[in-house]
Amino acid sequence: MSKKLIKSGLIVSMMTLISRVLGLVRDVVIANVMGASAMSDVFLLANKIPNFLRRLFAEGAFAQAFVPVLSEYKIKDEEAAKETDGLNQHQQTRLLIAEVSGTLGVIVTWVTLFGMLASPLVVMLFGFGFIEWVDGSPGGERFDLAANLLKITFPYLWFISFTALAGAVLNTMGKFAVAAFTPVLLNVGIIIMAIYGSAYTQSPAHALAWGVFLGGLIQFLFQIPFLYQAGMFVKPKWAWQSKGVKKIRQLIIPALFGVSVTQINLLFDTLIASFLITGSISWLYYANRLLEFPLGLFGIGIATVILPSLAKLHSKNSPKEFTATLDWGIKIISLFGWPAFAGLMVLAQPIVMLLFMRGEFNQSEVIQVSMALFAYLSGLLSFMFIKILAPGYYARQDTKTPVSIGIKAMAANMVFNLILAPFFGFVGLAIATSLSATLNAWLLYRGLKAQGVYQLSQTTLLFIGKIVVSAGIMAIVVYQLSDSFELWLNLTFIEQVQKLIVCILLGAISYLISIILMGVRISDFKVSNE
């Protein structure tokens, strides 16, 4: 189990690394083209709305509800195949995929059509601060542009819903690399249109919107051959009342809250930020994108391989291995999450400067994004732990507990927003999101502990303590190696790259030496055999 998890985790993390690097390249291109302008705010809003809905219809709540049921069907098919010498292999699994894809397809198609036709209404709903610019009043073009861009970006929801469904199927079949690589194609589409599309569209924002459309289409088409190869490419059918779809429906409704709390909180941030000074949405976006790099690389990467494994262990009634797998996830997240937190805290401004400070993106905006990043980083470990703890519920097909936790976290986020935003502006929104994520993670852990599913052992707590101390030592080393903000500004681009590489490499070496001296060993990550 341990070797298999580590291998799968490495595959997903490597593919995710490629995607995140290209994602940073994409953001560098966007920052260069539009900076943190009003046009940038509008595009990011038009891009965030279908991305938020993606969490509901695609890899968020849907995946958390679909994967455990699919794993259950797969195990039953495997047992039936043994009794019939391999005849009718995956018969029920294929039927479930056909029913789910058909039912999901009809729902997402209607939602997509509504989003495109009613784009002004959707902009009012998600970007309420833009409403004051309707009817030709000063700045009216911003509202109109948001509505027009949303018509282009909304079909991304349709493409990514089927992409996520295909990815969930492939992950359940143990084929993690394809689904993990697929997001790379979205970044490629946006980068191509950002560089070459502006000459053929009304504005850079329109070019980027068409890049989202193109990237979604390519992602959708990319996974079809792999589904066919795995024998899981089936004809969709509407089956609202089928047993499998009913079960997923029952699981997905609470999961909409439980797994999407972070995204809902970020959307609330965008809504409130639309009332703040121009650039607030962009500053939060760029800071969140940098936060997403370690979160996607480690948190989402590990969570992706843990969910199918936990669902399988639950179906096989293996509670000890289930607990051990959760513990393995917590240790892995701690191993990579704490040094990522410490390193980004120390190097936030140089990294933002190196990546974005060119074209329309100036020194002032580097400082603003860095401030938002500091605030988001305070919740980095909480965001990561949520990704590991939530599957502990969904793999057991328990979505009722996370829904109550999700509602509490969302309510807390809104309270924190109202308290902090008047004093700290957009930074207060980021702080509120981090605080609510911490509350969410704590409640998820407390729930698992109360249910007797998982509790941090003294051994694991000692392990985390060693990691925290080692990350602290690394932060001190990196801080001593780094220069002040003013000195970084005086370096050329090449000198900045060289300096940053030296800081990261020596920081990583100091961390590795520290954890070895602290007694952290490979044996700490072993998981019992199934």
Domain that holds residue 41: 2-456
Which of 111-115, 202-206, 336-340, 362-366 shows the highest mean pLDDT?
Answer: 336-340
Are the C-beta atoms of residues 260 and 60 closer than 8 Å to each other?
yes
CB burial class (10 A; 0-12, 13-18, 19+) of residue 529?
exposed
**pLDDT by residue (tens digit) across 441-473?**
999 999 999 998 999 888 889 999 999 999 999
Torsion, Cα 228 397 432 292, to 10 degrees, reads: -20
Q: Give residues with Cβ within 8 angstroms of 52, minimum separation 6.
A: 126, 263, 264, 266, 267
The rounded distance, in Å, linking the Cα atoms of 249 and 243 is 10
Q: Is 49 domain-assigned? A: yes
Q: Is 260 domain-assigned? A: yes
Mean per-residue pLDDT, 404-423: 86
CA distances from 143 to 133, 257, 477, 479 (A): 6, 29, 48, 44
CB burial class (10 A; 0-12, 13-18, 19+) of residue 200?
exposed
Give residue 393's pLDDT band: very low, low, confident or very high (50, 70, 90).
Answer: confident
The rounded distance, in Å, linking the Cα atoms of 382 and 434 is 8
Mean per-residue pLDDT, 363-384: 90
Q: Is 134 domain-assigned? A: yes
Of residues 249, 247, 243, 251, the one with CA closest to residue 393: 251
The rounded distance, in Å, linking the Cα atoms of 69 and 409 is 27
Mean per-residue pLDDT, 37-58: 68
CA angle 70, 75, 80 (to 5 degrees): 125
Tokens coding 356? 């974005």
CA distances from 213 to 32, 99, 246, 301 (A): 21, 26, 31, 25
Are the C-beta atoms of residues 54 and 60 closer than 8 Å to each other?
yes
Q: Is 309 domain-assigned? A: yes
Q: Is 234 domain-assigned? A: yes
Instruction: Give the pLDDT confidence score for residue 134 in this predicted structure.
Output: 46
Q: How many structural domains comprise the chain?
A: 1
Mean per-residue pLDDT, 53-70: 70
Give residue 39's pLDDT band: very low, low, confident or very high (50, 70, 90).
Answer: low
The rounded distance, in Å, linking the Cα atoms of 180 and 518 is 33
The rounded distance, in Å, linking the Cα atoms of 5 and 527 is 9
Give residue 529's pLDDT band: very low, low, confident or very high (50, 70, 90).
Answer: very low
CB burial class (10 A; 0-12, 13-18, 19+) of residue 8?
buried
Answer yes or no: is pLDDT of 228 > 80.
yes
Q: Is 492 domain-assigned? A: no
Mean per-residue pLDDT, 420-440: 89
Q: Is 316 domain-assigned? A: yes
Q: Is 192 domain-assigned? A: yes
